[in-house]
A and B are shown apart, each in its own frame.
Chain A
Amino acid sequence: MKFKYLRAEDIRALQRLAFEPRSLVEGHLAGRHRSTAIGSSTEFRDYRPYVPGDDLRRVDWRVLARTDRFYLRTHNQETNAACHVFLDSSASMGFGAPASKLDYGSFFVAGLAYLVARRHDAISLHLFDDAVRAFFPAGSTTRHLHTLLRALEANPPGARTSLAVALQHSLGRLRRRGTLVLVSDFFDDAGAIFDALNPYLHRGFEIHLFHVLDPEELQLPERGLATFVDLETNGRVVAHTPSIRKLYEQAMADHIRNLRELARRRHVRYTLARTDAPHIALYDRLIP
């Protein structure tokens, strides 16, 4: 099957990558990822002295033979990882040509879904603008992957952005902690966004912010005197581009710096994603 946002060349590029959440995850299926629960798996974790009541099957007999002491081998319990993706589908994400920011984000999300599903990890998807337009609960099957890919293709830019609202509404839906990936242009109040992220952080989610921006948003093009039309509100402002260009760049830089700083303080990983850069490079940010 051919999908718009998961092309053959993308699959080839993704072959060398693997979805490896940085933090430990918890899962109800035994999988490939370390769990915070100590259990039986092939990945050695540590030795600890034996205390009465411990399972004798986990005593390391070799150590006992060499040192005449009882030590237990402990292993990380392997589980399947959960990845929750929020893709901003507001009107502002429709900016950019020939590919919009939403297209860029959809390519990224499609690739991520492929990576996650390939390793039989679970992935959920939220498509939102000022509300959650579509929610696909976590799944790890190929069918689930196809569902997500089709949903991405049928996802035009919508209304205004309200990431905070989407996060608040989805908090109850995400029962399993895991990796939270936010793909947005973040034209929203940064304080409100991080306020909405606080419960997720509290629950131990590993959060990645992918700030998708078109180059023209970072550096206003030379348009002379122009009527700027807001994609979300249809509001209009007449401005002389050369006059405001530097101030705009400065304001945008301040905004990015602010987001980066807020993210750093909360141990949230922030990544600026320029649409003129290949989205494949972004997956490295997910690898610890």
Chain B
Amino acid sequence: MNMLWQHFALWPWLALIAAPLLIHLFALTRPPAYRFSSLEFIRRIVRRTRRIERPQDWLIWLLRTLAIAAAVLMFLRPLLFVRGGGDVHTARHVVLVVDASASMSSVENAQSRFSSACSEAAEILGGLGAGDTANVVWMKAKPEAVFPSSGINFSYLRDSLRRARVTSEAADVASALKLGVDLLSGLPGRKEICILSDFQKTNWEGVDFKLPPEYKLFTVRVGASDGDNRALARLTAQPVEPLAGETLTLYAEVRNFSPSPRKATVYLNFDERHEQQEVSLEAWGQAAAVFTLRAGQAGSFPVTVRLSEDAFAGDNVRQLLLRVRDRLPIKILASEPETAGYWRRALETLPWAQVTMLASNQWPAEEADDILLLSGWDGAGAETVAKRLQAGRMTIWQPAPETPQERLAALGIAGPGLATNGVLSWETAREPYRLTVASPDDPCFALFGHGEYGDPAGGSFLGRLRLPRLDQPSSDLLLAYRDQVPALIRFRFPGVLYLWNLPLQSAAGDWAARPEFLPLLAELLLSGRTFASSGAGSGTLYPGQMASLPAEQAPLNTAFTLEDEQGGKLLVEARESNAKVYLAAGPVKETGLYRWKAGDETLGWSVVNFPIVESDLRGGAASSPTTGSPAMSSGREVRQAQTGLNLWPGLVALAGLFLLMESVAVWGASKT
């Protein structure tokens, strides 16, 4: 807190404060003498009234002193700076960072948080004077400023604030602050950044408000309540990309962002089907509505799930682009030709598999969504496979003998037996190695429950890789040799990796010739899709992002458009990247289903979903201890902190009040 006295030269007047006290004391010590006949009655009265009069005297004296003090201070024209400030003569450069993210559309007291923020920002602008500059930064997915550099056209900024609309985007807080700092860098004078936001906990937790020392930070919180919101948080299908005619399960995750239990109805709209389910939600809890569907023909089909209406409507709809395949694309890298040949022959018998053989030096594209089978691969170039796994793809890897163990680590495989300098050695035995099922309840063994497809652990092996123990939380040991050496392990990343230690070469055992081989391989591929999230994010965007679509098949001389559900069109640009052509449009502003079109022909779909991070309307800390600037509740407070609060009108009122109270006290004293 800081105080500036505009008429500092009048400070000596404050000595007048002592006047009532001096008069009081002087009058008490030397009152004029009055010779009176008898003091008998007076003494009695004085004795009786002293207890009442003394406090009254002191109260009257105090009130007079306060009245004079208020009057004198009024002439000193004080300016109060509640939080810092005090330098009113230096030009100020202010950047108003206004949160335009989706949570700001929440309505409280018939006004959205965004409207409140814009009003407060306009109030702050009103406090700027000649020589000051200002700018407004909209905090959203990609923050942007109204002016390229701070300007003096405040009326334009006010007009921008009046016309601005809240977005459905998530806020990029760090980028917005950085943009604010950049806009002010190099300017002389006072640099101030004022953030106007609801300081949503999910967005702001962990944000470091620390700015360079010459910057001053103000924060204004809008939105007092924690909100009452239900949201569709996630929509997933299992398998993610079903085959035509396959049954799939759709999970719609509903979250309750309120302190009370709630019920909600989830409506499904898929193809011609309309279903609904009611879910009960604990306070701050979540629940899932589960729908079982059957995929029809191959193609991309939008699935729309809606939630019963609530006050915050943006997150009540979620969409999914369900890609139904007619066949699974499978690519086999033939580093070890015999194994690759067994795989190919087996898979070619499956009607839903589309097998392609690759030479040992021919890697599929990183973004290709096919299943990769690596026979005799030594782990060289593990980064490519690791990226595919992180992208949700499925891979079956039979390591080559002498594969360095560190290459397993490069894929994200860990385990207590993994040595830094070790290799996977090949070992043989006179007595064949026998298998055992390590996880009988795993879905991949469900087919073998009745025995008609044989025993998945029935093979015998004369050689194998000496694999160390590789158990980790996200792994499942499916088959093991009886001496506990792993034979088949599934690692769950966003994608799925099967580590295959079941040699198929005829010299190493009889596994390739056994009847269990084909069904087990097919089950591994089919069940692995339920663990992999391949394709879950394909075509799914969030507001503020650029939409793009590969355009290899599209004729480049065609007019491309991206249409939203209402028929609104976005300009599309054809871009070339890595010798491939992409269609790009946006950034897309609103949630919904977007159709890529070439002329009248539909090229594909993009789904724009609400960013769930914006659904939790609870506010977090609007400041951090490092800044030392606590959050303010209004633009007026910021203005007062910047320009100071003129106290003289208050002091006039105060002096009047004290005089009134003094009159009452005097009147009361005379009455008593």
Contact = CB atoms under 8 A, between A and B. Distances in A.
A251 B42 CA distance: 9
B36 A230 contact: yes
A242 B670 CA distance: 7
A248 B45 contact: yes
A235 interface: yes
Contact of A237 (B27, B46, B670): B46
B669 interface: yes
A228 B49 contact: no
A95 B36 contact: yes
Contacts of A236: 33
Contacts of A187: 37-38, 40
A224 B34 CA distance: 11
Given A238-B28, A239-B46, A243-B669, A227 B41 contact: no
Interface string A228-255: 1111110111111011100110011001
Given A92-B37, A187-B38, A251 B44 contact: yes
A269 B38 CA distance: 24
Contact of B33 (A101, A217, A226): A226
Contact of B35 (A225, A229, A239, A247): A229
Contacts, number: 80
A214 B44 CA distance: 20
Contacts of A28: none
Contact of A239 (B33, B37, B42, B670): B42
B402 interface: no
Contacts of B33: 226-227, 229, 236
Interface in B9-50: 27-28, 31-46, 48-49
A122 B633 CA distance: 100
Interface residues of B, number: 23
A235 B33 CA distance: 11
Nearest to A254: B41
B348 interface: no
B310 interface: no
Contact of A217 (B32, B37, B670): B37
A251 B35 contact: no
Nearest to B44: A251
B interface secondary structure, majority: helix
B53 interface: yes
A101 B37 CA distance: 10
B666 to A, nearest CB: 10
A260 B35 CA distance: 27
A230 B35 CA distance: 6
Interface in B177-233: none
B34 A228 contact: yes
A185 interface: yes
B47 to A, nearest CB: 9
B49 A247 contact: yes
Contacts of A214: 37
Contacts of A226: 31-34
B39 A230 contact: yes
Interface of A: 92-93, 95, 101, 185, 187, 214, 217, 223-233, 235-240, 242-244, 247-248, 251-252, 255
Given A185-B38, A227-B32, 11 more contacts: A214-B37, A217-B37, A223-B34, A228-B34, A229-B34, A232-B37, A233-B39, A239-B42, A244-B46, A248-B45, A251-B45
Leading 9 A-B pairs by shortest Cβ distance: A95-B37, A187-B38, A92-B37, A251-B41, A225-B31, A230-B39, A226-B34, A247-B45, A227-B33
15 contacts: A92-B38, A185-B37, A217-B37, A223-B34, A225-B28, A225-B31, A227-B34, A228-B39, A229-B35, A229-B36, A232-B38, A237-B46, A239-B45, A244-B49, A251-B45
